[in-house]
Amino acid sequence: MNGNKTVTANFELIPPTQYTLTMAVSPQGGGTTDPAVGNHTYNENTVVNISATPTAGYQFVNWTGDVANPNSASTTVTMNGNKTVTAVFTLDLCCELVNRFSIQWNYWGYKHFEWKYYFKGNIEGNPCRKWLTVEIQLIKDGVVIDSDTKTAHGNNFDTGSIVLDSGESDWDWGHHPKGYKIKVIIYDTEGKCPPIIAYEGNI
């Protein structure tokens, strides 16, 4: 000390260690995640809340990757390293069976069509027992001329017949009219499955 001195110690903030969380879904379109699908950066040891939401017609199965509870749609990830987690979804069994709906129909008579339709999806012993609403539309030149709906239980049911009126008077017995189309739409009354077009085509 040969005089007054001032000394300064300089410090530098050490940035926190960060890791990447990669979110994914399987199959594509089966659902969404929060945080969204993609890469997200977090400080070391951050506990991240994650959740999975299935798209209509799908159900959540599990998470793959290092998560706290792989069987819960809402869980956490501790960021002590780079992590990749995938939300796995599967097609709802009931919705898959709804796709097997089939119809049968017969020409009924003058000015009308009688349509008998049957749900063929749920086989005996299957746990899926759903109430379905079936809409049948009579279409000409892209315009719905007449429609009707029936609701029944999805267990090999026969809801009976529907009569659709064309409003025309030039139909003859025993002859199928030309220029008309039929569309059959199935709605899941529980709202879990998206509407399905079971049949669409010419009469």
Choose among 72, 71, 63, 73: nearest CA to 21: 63
- Provide the whole-model pTM: 0.53
Could you tell me if residue 180 is inside a domain? Answer: yes
Q: Which amino acid is at 146?
A: D
Q: Strands of 74-78's sheet, edge to edge?
A: 31-34, 47-54, 74-78
147 and 188: one domain? yes
Residue 59 maps to a domain: yes
Q: How many domains does the chain have?
A: 2
Where is average pLDDT lowest: 12-26, 58-72, 98-112, 173-187? 98-112
Residue 78 lies in a domain: yes
pLDDT single digits (tens) 8-60 = 888 888 889 999 999 999 999 899 999 999 999 999 999 999 999 998 778 89
Give the CATH number of the domain where residue 58 resides: 3.10.20
Domain that residue 159 falls in:
95-202
The answer to whether residues 100 and 130 belong to one domain is yes
Residue pair 50/75 in contact by the 8 Å Cβ criterion: yes
Q: What tens digit of pLDDT does each residue of 106-157 get?
A: 555 445 555 555 444 443 444 455 667 778 888 888 898 888 887 766 555 5
